[in-house]
Amino acid sequence: MGGDKIEGYERIKANYNAMPNGPDLLFLSRSCYGGVVRFRKTDGYMSTPCGVHDPISPASFARRVDEWHDRTRGTIFVVQEYKEVMEAASKGDLIYCDPPYTFTQSILYGAQSFDLNDLFRTIRECKNRGVYIVLSIDGSKRSGNMICDVQIPSDLFEREVMIHCGRSMLKRFQMNGKTLEKEIVHDRLLLTY
């Protein structure tokens, strides 16, 4: 990017907001604060500020793009509401759900209108049709000292696995230089099979 990091970021963000396009959005998603892209609901304006971290190097980014290009070859991406996609699933299909986390920070993900219970109803319908569902959701924070109390229907999932995610991404930016040993995060992975 060259020059002042924030100035360059704001220039690309302004360009994106004036005329949304893939390359600018990709850059912004890799450079914004915490990698969390936020859009205003009223007009779609991308509002996330520049991150405190150094942006990914062009060489490292190019390697990742090449690898994902190979991995996703032949994949069809669609933009649809989750219900539409899940209703179209057939017996034996596998769906991975990664909804906005509900315990904390939901405002960062634009999840104010998201209804987790509605997702649970849709998952139940899929399970009844023989569609396999994997759901990731809040697990624990503060190195396991705080279990996220998410109300999950007791008969919906067959297995639960806690996945070690490392140190809290948000705390990493908020605590700038302070120790993070007490900020280990686990996600809960729930499977209907």
- The DSSP 8-state label assigned to residue 140 in this structure reads E
In a domain, 88, yes or no: yes
Residue-wise burial string across 47-59, b where 16 or more C-beta atoms lie within 10 A, e elsewhere: ebebbeeebeeee
Looking at 71, 90, 106, which one is the last position of a domain? 71
pLDDT computed for residue 182 by the predictor:
57
**Domain total of the chain:** 2
DSSP string, 16-78: HHHS--HHHHHHHHHHBGGG---B-TTT--B-PPBPSSPPPPHHHHHHHHHHHHHHTTT----
Residues 91, 185, single domain; the answer is yes
Q: Are 121 and 83 in contact (CB under 8 A)?
A: no
pLDDT computed for residue 144 by the predictor:
47
pLDDT computed for residue 171 by the predictor:
47
Per the structure block, which two tokens stand in for 18?
């004036």
Residues 130, 171, single domain; the answer is yes
Structural domain including 30 reads: 5-71
Q: What angle do CA 131, 104, 80 make, to 5 degrees?
A: 40
Residues 21, 49, single domain; the answer is yes
Give the pLDDT of the chain (193 residues) as one tens digit per residue.
456 889 999 999 999 999 999 999 998 988 888 777 888 888 989 999 998 877 778 888 889 999 999 999 999 888 899 999 999 999 999 999 988 666 555 555 555 677 889 999 999 999 999 999 999 887 665 544 555 677 889 999 999 998 887 755 554 455 555 554 556 777 889 999 9
